[in-house]
Structure 1
Amino acid sequence: MKMTFRPTDCWRWYFDSEYDSLMLEVSPEMLFRCCYPSKMLVPDVFGEFPFSVSDATSYYQFYNSCQLLNLTDSQKIELAINAIVAANFLKPQMPKSWYFSQQPKLYRPKVADIVEVNLQEDGQKVCLMVVEVGENASLCIIAQASFTAMSKTFVFSEAIKVMNDRLKPIEHNIARHSEHLKLEAIS
């Protein structure tokens, strides 16, 4: 695996009030806008701060996990950066496990695991990435283009907390058939 997009000590986080979003400045010519609205973010992000060594470690951990998914390199980068934001800067969430069926065996996820859940309505399998593990529930982000459950549409990188008894290790054939997304740079 060749990675051409590597964190440096020049990367920095800052909040952009025009976009109402946390931004990651990768270079003067390249910005990344996280997908979470300001109302979901902890108050500490409404300023400017460096991309830390811990952030870089998390980036590689999440990016490496993305290799199981049929995503473009830019999608893997986007998923990894949004995973850092979800793990470190989102306000606490309550589980929304009612969308998903309980699994017959309890799975103990780890951070950066690619997992799947089955929709309650039709059993459809959905790909998630675990970004924060709790004793009973884990914060995950959507690791596929989108899905609809109970008339609500969930999109790529959206955060959702799920009870651990709903999660199971991903079947590799699911990961290989994910839809491709079209991403656009904002700068």
Structure 2
Amino acid sequence: MLQPDSNWRWYYDHQHDRLALLLGDMLFLTPYRTKHLVYTVSGEESFDLQDLEVYSQIANQLEHCCLPLSAAQQTQLAINVCAVQRFHKPLMPKSWFFTRSETGGHHHRLAWLSTGEYRAKVWVVEDNHSSCLCLLLDDQLPLGTGKAMGQFEAIRVMPDCLEPCFEQQPLRKLA
């Protein structure tokens, strides 16, 4: 996983129509367009201490869950969570797309969302007991009526729409 430094800068990439993070020599494009953002970043904004705190929390959470992600994918998830928490417009719950679960909730920030026909893994960004903000981890999730969520798209749902996702624990040698 990449370690943030003082050269990281947020900006809006008009060529790709996406919020972007300049990582020194590399460019990271988020999936978030102007319509998803509270405001359009004009110029560059530092990856600040609050971003660093969120990024570090995600890195720590990823260490404790068994989600099989490469270092690059972990970085991608952490940056998208930072972008959503800092720039994304507030969302109202859209629970009607999903089936309800008696075991609602998440496990180490991982959960399943199910439409009845389709099931997808999500990362729970925020859980305030009345609703949960989630990012889709799978490539896409068809919602019916011709709509589909794309990877890392944000959605807010009621906690009983989530089903805890228990990834397989890797076997550890004891000796």
Common fold: TM-score over 0.5: yes
Q: Is the 8 A contact 1:132 1:140 kept in 2?
A: yes
Alignment of 1:21-60 (within 5 A): 21-27=18-24, 29-43=25-39, 45-60=41-56
**Residue 143 (1) aligns with residue 141 (2):** no
| CA RMSD between the two structures | 2.4
* Alignment correspondent of 1:102: 100
One-letter code aligned to 1:20? D
Alignment of 1:144-163 (within 5 A): 144-150=138-144, 151-163=146-158
Tell me what 1:179 maps to. none
Q: Which moved more, 1:80-89 or 1:128-137?
A: 128-137
Answer yes or no: is the 8 Å Cα contact 2:110–2:166 preserved in 1.
Answer: no
Give the aligned length.
167
User: Normalising by structure 2, what TM-score?
Assistant: 0.82
Matched with 2:122 is 128
- Tell me, which stretches of 5 or more residues in structure 2 are unaligned? 171-175
What secondary structure is seen at the aligned counterpart in 2 of 1:128? strand
Counterpart residue number, 2:112 = 116
1:78-93 aligned at under 5 Å gives the runs 78-93=76-91
1:170 equivalent to 2:168? Answer: no
Between the aligned residues of both structures, percent identity stands at: 33
Moved more, 64-73 or 134-143: 64-73
| SS class of match (1:91) | coil
TM-score normalised by length of structure 1: 0.78
Distance 2:30 2:122 in 1: 17
1:152 to partner: Cα distance: 2.5
Do the aligned partners of 1:63 and 1:79 also contact (CA within 8 Å) in 2? no
SS of aligned partner of 1:45: coil
What is the letter of the counterpart of residue 98 of structure 1?
Answer: W
Contact 2:11 2:45 (C-alpha < 8 Å) held by counterparts: yes
What are structure 1's unaligned runs of at least 5 residues? 177-187
User: How far, CA to CA, are the matches of 1:72 and 1:155 in structure 2?
Assistant: 20
How many Å apart are 1:44 and its aligned residue? Answer: 6.0
Gap change, CA 1:39 and 1:51, over 3 Å in 2:
same
Q: Secondary structure at the match of 2:45?
A: strand
Paired amino acid for 1:11: W
Partner in structure 1 of residue 4 of structure 2: 7
Matched, 1:61 2:57: yes
Which residue is equivalent to 1:185? none
Equivalent-residue separation in structure 2 for 1:80 and 1:53 (angstroms): 14
User: Shift of residue 37 of structure 1?
Assistant: 0.8
